[in-house]
Amino acid sequence: MEAHIWIALVSIFTAGITIAIGSIGSALGEGRAVSTALSALAQQPDAASTITRTLFVGLAMVESTAIYCFVVSMIVLFANPFWNQVTAALGG
């Protein structure tokens, strides 16, 4: 196979793995955070405002990991820096 085909295959595979691991990890982290927050709310209902505020900040941080994985996969698919090097090497 030619070099540009290999780069396309590896880019697609890398983007898929990045999205898979990033979304699974974020989903598990968010599930655990919500579970722990609900448990804490059941034990101390008076601290509900503090717990929910901290929960939302934590969920935003966890979700940003999934967004970063999405951005990296889009860069790998649509703005791959290796394409320019390969096309220049192949003379096209």
Assigned domain for 5 exists: no
**Total domains present in the chain:** 1
Percent of the chain having pLDDT more than 70? Answer: 99
Q: State the angle between helix axes of 48-78 and 3-43 in degrees (0 to 180), rounded to the nearest 10.
A: 180
Q: What's the CATH code of the domain at 48?
A: 1.20.20.10
Using the predicted structure, report yes or no on whether residue 5 has a pLDDT greater than 90: no
pTM here is 0.77
Assigned domain for 86 exists: no
Assigned domain for 90 exists: no
Assigned domain for 20 exists: yes
Confidence of residue 52 (pLDDT cuts 50, 70, 90): very high
Mean pLDDT of 79-89: 80
